[in-house]
Amino acid sequence: MVGNADLFVNWARKSSLWYLLFATACCGIELMQAGASRYDMDRFGAVFRATPRQADLMLVAGTITHKMAERVKRLYDQMPEPKYVIAMGSCANTGGPFYKDSYCVVKGVDLIIPVDVFIPGCPPRPEALIDGIMKLQKIIMRRKNYGAKA
């Protein structure tokens, strides 16, 4: 009985992954592409929202500077639970091309907020982004919402 409730809740969550449009660099172009008609992320229930208060998923698409880090944290805090984060592209994963010698770029968005899925690539193709979203859906399906408390 508890298993069925988990299954239902997780299925509902994974099928409506509304993501916060948060594009700070060229990954944002691939993100737009993935949302547009050719790759059509709407098929997986992933549509973009312009406000964190309506979003379940934060797609960090691009370079995060130290000046931006505060805003990233604030937007993440404004999202309602349960919330997930995908770090898209080398910059959001590790700092990417700015890893070696930069004073202003945060070396990975996981230094600021918890990340569920990392997508490598500079920038990743839309297929890679869709793969990352499907990986996140698998993570959501594994989640025990009620069983853990029992």
Partner 1 sequence: MEAQAIFDILKGKFGDAVVELQGEGYSPAFVVVAAAAVKEVSRFLKEDPNLSFDVLMCLSGVDYKEKFAVAYHLHSLKHRHAIGLKAMLPRENPSLPTVDDVWPAANFNEREAFDLFGIVFEGSKDLRRILLPPDWEGHPLRKDYKYPDFYHGIKV
Which stretches of the chain bind partner 1, using CB under 8 A? 66-67, 69-70, 103-104, 106-107, 111-112
How near is the Cβ of 20 to partner 1 at its closest, in Å?
21
Q: What is the DSSP string of 99-118?
A: SSS-SSB-S-GGGTS--SEE
Question: 22 has which bridge partners?
Answer: 60
Q: Which is nearer to partner 1, 107 or 125 (CB)?
A: 107
Terminal CA-CA length for the chain = 12
Using DSSP, state whether 88 is helix, strand or coil. Answer: strand
Q: Which is nearer to partner 1, 104 or 141 (CB)?
A: 104
How near is the Cβ of 98 to partner 1 at its closest, in Å?
11
How near is the Cβ of 29 to partner 1 at its closest, in Å?
23
